[in-house]
Amino acid sequence: MAKSTTDEYLANNRQYAEGHALHKPAYPGKQPIQPARRVAVVACMDARLDVEDLLGLQTGDAHIIRNAGGVVTDDAIRCLVISHHLLDTNEIILIHHTRCGMLAFTDDLLKTGLEGDPAAEKLLGQATNRAFKSCQKCASTPAQFHAFRGAIEPLDAPRSAASTERLQWDVRRGMSSILNHPWLPTSGPDAVTVRGFVYDVDTGLLEEVAYPGPMGSFG
């Protein structure tokens, strides 16, 4: 089977983890609007992830969509639909990572803490190891924070089997959202491919997440 562009970026990632710099930061000159490698990446906003570096991307290679957690939200879907149908990308890469802040809270906990619940404020302060400052106000947006399913853990806790499983659950949920969206075709001449990964911030390596598989429960 021929190697995909994603496979090439995985090979780049192994070199990156060994200390090699593949991304060239210099201005490359005039380029077309379409990503040269026809790739779109959805990744977490975490400061420890430099997506261009860890994949060995060059300026102009790919669309990079980032948010808290690298979650496939409605806005991420919006971006991917535009990326594919108008700008000709056909490979999608999802990247979550170890020690993610999205493991340290639940949506309800953060909402109630922001609204001024003392117990929630205390728990959030313990989880983040900083004083949590409530806004003492309610708000209708954002409707969701998309915290990862499962039992919460302290912010930036060392990697464990349980936290890795929680990350894998959400990667699969993101893959499922893309693969089942009617405007992102997965068969025929205009098909997209989707692969998901967990990036280990302590080793620099990407680990592929098998799909299909467990996605966690609501409990």
Q: pLDDT digit string (tens) for 161-204?
A: 999 999 999 999 999 999 999 999 999 999 999 999 999 999 99
pLDDT tens for each residue of 137-163: 999 999 999 999 999 999 999 999 999
Strand bridging mode 193-199 / 206-209: antiparallel
Map out the domains of the chain with their CATH numbers: 33-103+158-209 (3.40.1050.10), 106-144 (no CATH)
Query: Cβ distance 67 to 44 under 8 Å?
Result: yes
Q: Which residues pair with 96 in a beta bridge?
A: 198
The structure's pTM equals 0.95
Full 3-state SS string of 156-177: CCCCCHHHHHHHHHHHHHHHHH
